[in-house]
Amino acid sequence: MKTIRYLATLVTHRRLIPAAGYWLLPLFLLVPACAARPLLYGVSVQPEVITPNADGLEDVTRFAYQLSRSADLSIYLIDENGERHYFRQSRRRSAGSYRVDFGGVVDGGMLTDGRYTWVVEAVTDNGASAQSEGTLTIQDADTQRPELRGFSVYPQVFTPNQDGKHDRVTINYYLSKEANVAVYLLGPDDQKYPVAETERDVEPGEPGFHTYDYEGGVDLGADPPPDGDYIVRAEAVDRVGNRTVVTSTLTIQDGGLPRADIVNADVDFFNPETGDKVVPLGSTLAFTLTVENTGLVPIRTTGPDSGTHYRSDQNFNTLDAFQSPGAWRVGIDYEGNPSYAYPYRWGLGRLDEMESRVIDGQTYYYLMPGQRVIVTGSIQIVEVPAASKDLVNFWAGLIHEEVRIDPFNDFVDPQQIAIGF
């Protein structure tokens, strides 16, 4: 109805043009009203004074604007020295209405107190541009960035394979002010691997000393990040948005979950003099078994060598072959053992047949992936293992010292041995 009344008015005032028996509306009146809108319009910034200090009062201002068509949008502030500080730079935006909050932080740092000229600028693909500007005053701003003092990563060559050597990385820093801190590894493919903070008396985000203990997830049964060179990155952001980033480097080598088995869970116990399973007191019980590294990473072992002979009243400690965290050894245990598990232990073969590696100036020995070894040993029975029994069960185990004994490597192939007098 409004359109009809408008045409009637034009006819009354002879604004229509006669042509070939028709009345024509001038073409400029047929142009849609939206085409008359400018590229950039409806720009506002409220409030015009902010105090970005995290007190909850006037900490941010809101930029609002509208675009009539697609353009590259920039928002920046010009300080009293004429320097530009970009909040947004050449961000692609389609036609529509936009709002964004600004708390005074540019490039991770709070702008200093002062009076700024804000500019909102749009540029289309064909070079057409439009801008709007005004003033913004910043007062009582918190400009102090959080510091991550003494940031350190040790060791910088990391082998997460539970061999007890360089299996963990320690990350330390001192946080100067309250802030949220994220620590992660950044891989060659830009994938992030978060690192969790160790619980201490200083809570995460509080000022003070902070430490991280990273094992690549292996202790939880997960595969570590792939071998390669990584950036260790720590980012601290305080309550107003001040941001600090520190980095270091880390190389991962030989990473993975270790695994080894007693092949076929088969152990051969025998009296080496008779070949049977009867061992008179004072005689010897011998064994033979095969171990295979079925995993993808080398596994470390330690002595005594395969073939070592024990007395039943000895154990690996009395042979000065003390427990070595992360090392794999074959053990023999028996029914009625009053002490700790697997008192008799042997390395995976002869150490001089293993691959040797020098780590921190010391030599260590490894069974390589896919490698098999035959392990032998013997025990002279000088006392009755179980006073009330003549038939005593003996069995084998494959021990990952101070890590675990997998269920399939524990209590392997128990057999009754007759202990005679």
Helix, strand or coil, per DSSP, at residue 70: coil
pLDDT tens per residue across span 3-62: 444 444 444 444 444 444 334 444 444 444 445 789 999 999 999 999 999 999 999 999
What Rg do the C-alpha atoms of the chain give, in angstroms? 39
Angstrom distance (rounded) from CA 55 to CA 58: 8
Q: pLDDT-derived band of residue 339, with 50, 70 and 90 as boundaries?
A: confident
Q: Which amino acid is at 136?
A: L
Tokens, residue 228: 């390669």
Q: Strands of 169-175's sheet, edge to edge?
A: 148-154, 169-175, 208-214
Full set of structural domains in the chain with CATH: 2-31 (no CATH), 40-138 (2.60.40.4070), 148-252 (2.60.40.2550), 260-420 (2.60.40.10)
Angstrom distance (rounded) from CA 286 to CA 216: 40
- Segments of 238-302 assigned E as strands: 243-252, 260-262, 268-270, 278-280, 284-293, 299-301
Say which DSSP state 12 is in.
H
- Do 290 and 267 touch, CB atoms closer than 8 A? no
**Tokens 């590696």, residue located:** 357
Looking at residue 27, its pLDDT comes to 41
Angstrom distance (rounded) from CA 154 to CA 164: 15
Indicate if the alpha-carbon torsion angle 259, 260, 266, 270 is positive or negative. negative
pLDDT tens per residue across span 314-334: 999 999 999 999 999 999 999
Burial of 54 (0-12, 13-18, 19+ CB in 10 A): middle
pLDDT at 357 over 60: yes
- Do 245 and 233 touch, CB atoms closer than 8 A? yes
pLDDT tens per residue across span 155-183: 999 999 999 999 999 999 999 999 999 99
pLDDT tens per residue across span 47-104: 999 999 999 999 999 999 999 999 999 999 999 999 999 999 999 999 999 999 999 9
Burial of 273 (0-12, 13-18, 19+ CB in 10 A): exposed
- Do 26 and 17 touch, CB atoms closer than 8 A? yes
Beta bridge partners of 174: 149, 209
Q: Which amino acid is at 410?
A: D
Question: In Å, what is the CA distance from 249 to each residue of 181, 231, 316?
Answer: 18, 5, 40
Residues in the chain: 421
Average pLDDT over residues 245-269: 97
pLDDT tens per residue across span 359-414: 999 999 999 999 999 999 999 999 877 656 789 999 999 999 999 999 999 999 99
N-terminal to C-terminal alpha carbon distance within the chain: 121
DSSP per residue, 304-362 = SPTT-EEETT--TTTTT----TT-EEEEEEETT--SSS--EEE-SS-GGGSEEEEETTE
pLDDT tens per residue across span 128-152: 999 999 999 999 999 999 999 999 9
DSSP per residue, 189-210 = T--EEE-PBPP-SSPTTSSEEE
pTM: 0.81
Looking at residue 6, its pLDDT comes to 44
